[in-house]
A and B are shown apart, each in its own frame.
Chain A
């Protein structure tokens, strides 16, 4: 009796080892890529961040300079802090929250049954297809800004809104917040494509019966939203917030990313890598904090 169970155990162990072997085998391509084409350049860039980098005919020459690359941008340009660094690392705050609210709102609208829904969905997803850095760059810097002075200024620039708010008598602070948001409407709409789809898939997994039950109990639409929809999509909110934060930090429209790219173009690799690393570390901290805070409030349905 004892022998057979031992044999079984052995067999199980063997099976398990076999399974693990296949697991490593299947993920091997990624592991090679990760080590050779991700980790190695990552370490090199860490080395760059602490060195003076120069291109010579024999390859790249680096000399260790300590924290110099991290300090010099702040020291050499007094406006770096206020113009690039702070906006670069803080834009995620309102971008992620606005995108999150906006995409949930739109997803709820798109989830309702109405004529032309397919068309509406296709339209909201369009930015994912064409919102590349190139197009945005050409539109924003070459098109929108210059043309808006003459046409449609009320829609996109905040001038119209600013005048309106001032005439009503809003305090300065609230006005600037509104202006910032309205200035960003274009960006927010164009950033939200994937997030809308994520929320849509979350909404569609909520069973209709829960709403029906709530309606029989006499719940209002407002209550239904907070007690059912908001709770049920909370796992998706976590994904959306994290996706939006990553997007905000790594997107080409991030001003600090633009700055590091400019430095790279000017062959100032050390400073470029240093700021890249600084941005990346801040992004990691933000992600961990945000993920931790939100996942405490996430509600998972036990389906099994």
Chain B
């Protein structure tokens, strides 16, 4: 009797588990669809001739394939030079942030000093304050960059306006390298936080051992702590690349036309819905011969541009996906 009951219970549990896994699969499928759907739509629309966009008999799978949209987007984005510029910018910022935020994060994690609490509170403030608030004055500051007040000092002696000794940083990568160098760049506050959490959890013995071996704090940091922080560094590096890649607001004002990074170029192309000039020039290039409706062409170009914009981060993600997810988990922003 007991045995039968137990068997029944086992069977019921098995059935429940199976039902649950089916429900779970369905849930993931639906939500996954919400995430993947836009990507599928982009891919479908990019390789679809624009004439078929308004064709009700065409859903998802184009009747014929075309590369016109991609080619037009490449012209519109000035793709290869823009890609090169953007890559240099993103890599440069990421490398700088990996190093500088580690130094500052280590400072916050391992040294006790009076103003530490206040300083760290201010780091959190830099995370919270929206960039919108400071990027306009920053732009003015970069236009007449005074080298942290040195220009003012010289001007004081010579009596000329300080703008005379200021340097115009607009249109140069320095507009992004400088804040990265001084740990107030794109999401630097968050990176400092990640490093601090990591360094706080490194066992004290490591440091003490280094001290006994005669390492000063700086040497300890370079020789002992940094090699241990590889996983955090990788997380910061990857996130920094992605967030710089996606940054548009500051990039749009710090770079003038022709020098803009890829994200801004894509945005401009997509905005061409509003101004038909740009579209007209691309349509006139002959790629869209016979397409009477500019709007459809514009949509094709926008989709092409977005696909081109997404390919590099997607490739990066496919190869480093593990580090993105595990990095956040293990270096974890814990508590």
Residue A198 interfacial (CB < 8 Å): yes
Q: Which of B253-286 contact A (CB under 8 A)?
A: 263, 266-267, 270, 273
Interface centre among A19, A29, A30, A155 (most CB of B within 10 A): A30
Residue B1 interfacial (CB < 8 Å): no
Distance between A243 CB and nearest chain B CB, rounded to angstroms: 9
Interface centre among A38, A200, A205, A264 (most CB of B within 10 A): A38
Which B residues are in CB contact (< 8 Å) with A141?
A: 273
Q: Are A42 and B129 in contact (CB under 8 A)?
A: yes
Q: Which of A27, A147, A186, A269 contacts B104 (CB 8 A)?
A: A27
Residue B314 interfacial (CB < 8 Å): yes
Distance between A12 CB and nearest chain B CB, rounded to angstroms: 12
- Measured in the bound complex, the distance between the Cα atoms of B133 and A8 in whole Å is 51
Residue A244 interfacial (CB < 8 Å): no
Q: Which of B24, B100, B108 contacts A114 (CB 8 A)?
A: B24
Which B residues are in CB contact (< 8 Å) with A124?
A: 31, 35
- Measured in the bound complex, the distance between the Cα atoms of B141 and A36 in whole Å is 10
Residue A280 interfacial (CB < 8 Å): yes
Q: Are B317 and A126 in contact (CB under 8 A)?
A: yes
Q: Are B249 and A121 in contact (CB under 8 A)?
A: no
- Measured in the bound complex, the distance between the Cα atoms of B126 and A224 in whole Å is 39
Which B residues are in CB contact (< 8 Å) with A189?
A: 31, 34-35
- Measured in the bound complex, the distance between the Cα atoms of B60 and A42 in whole Å is 48
- Measured in the bound complex, the distance between the Cα atoms of B126 and A273 in whole Å is 17
Residue B183 interfacial (CB < 8 Å): yes
Name the residue of chain A whose CB is nearest to the CB of B329. A201
Known: A144-B38, A250-B130, A279-B130. A198 touches B333 (CB 8 A): yes
Interface centre among A24, A48, A141 (most CB of B within 10 A): A24
Q: Are A26 and B103 in contact (CB under 8 A)?
A: yes
Residue A5 interfacial (CB < 8 Å): no
Distance between A250 CB and nearest chain B CB, rounded to angstroms: 4
Q: Are B119 and A123 in contact (CB under 8 A)?
A: no
Residue A82 interfacial (CB < 8 Å): no
Which A residues are in CB contact (< 8 Å) with B305?
A: 138
- Measured in the bound complex, the distance between the Cα atoms of B137 and A285 in whole Å is 24
Q: Are A142 and B273 in contact (CB under 8 A)?
A: yes
Residue A2 interfacial (CB < 8 Å): no
What are 21 A-B interface contacts by the 8 Å CB criterion?
A: A33-B188, A34-B126, A37-B178, A37-B184, A42-B129, A59-B140, A60-B140, A130-B39, A133-B267, A138-B266, A139-B306, A141-B273, A143-B303, A144-B41, A155-B33, A155-B34, A201-B328, A261-B132, A276-B132, A280-B129, A287-B128
Q: Which of B234-268 contact A (CB under 8 A)?
A: 242, 245-249, 263, 266-267
Q: Interface of A with B (CB < 8 Å)?
A: 16, 19-27, 29-34, 36-38, 40-42, 44-45, 48, 59-60, 106, 109, 112, 114, 120-130, 132-135, 137-139, 141-144, 147, 150-152, 155-156, 185-186, 189-190, 194, 197-198, 200-202, 204-205, 235-236, 239, 246, 249-250, 252, 257, 260-261, 264, 269, 272-273, 276-277, 279-280, 283-284, 287, 300
Q: Are A142 and B335 in contact (CB under 8 A)?
A: no
Distance between B112 CB and nearest chain A CB, rounded to angstroms: 6
Q: Are B113 and A283 in contact (CB under 8 A)?
A: no
Which B residues are in CB contact (< 8 Å) with A126?
A: 35, 317
Known: A134-B246, A134-B306. A300 touches B103 (CB 8 A): no
Which A residues are in CB contact (< 8 Å) with B314?
A: 129-130
Q: Which of B163, B242, B266, B316 contacts A134 (CB 8 A)?
A: B266
- Measured in the bound complex, the distance between the Cα atoms of B56 and A20 in whole Å is 71
Q: Are B329 and A204 in contact (CB under 8 A)?
A: yes
Name the residue of chain A whose CB is nearest to the CB of B316. A129
Which A residues are in CB contact (< 8 Å) with B249?
A: 133, 252, 261
Q: Are A197 and B328 in contact (CB under 8 A)?
A: yes
Name the residue of chain B whose CB is nearest to the CB of A33. B182
Q: Which of A45, A48, A201 contacts B334 (CB 8 A)?
A: A201
Distance between A226 CB and nearest chain B CB, rounded to angstroms: 19
Interface centre among B100, B104, B131, B136 (most CB of A within 10 A): B136
- Measured in the bound complex, the distance between the Cα atoms of B331 and A150 in whole Å is 45
Which A residues are in CB contact (< 8 Å) with B157?
A: none
Q: Are B35 and A29 in contact (CB under 8 A)?
A: no
Which B residues are in CB contact (< 8 Å) with A261?
A: 132, 249
Q: Which of B42, B119, B133, B328 contacts A42 (CB 8 A)?
A: B133
Which B residues are in CB contact (< 8 Å) with A59?
A: 140, 144, 163
Q: Are B38 and A143 in contact (CB under 8 A)?
A: yes
Distance between A279 CB and nearest chain B CB, rounded to angstroms: 7
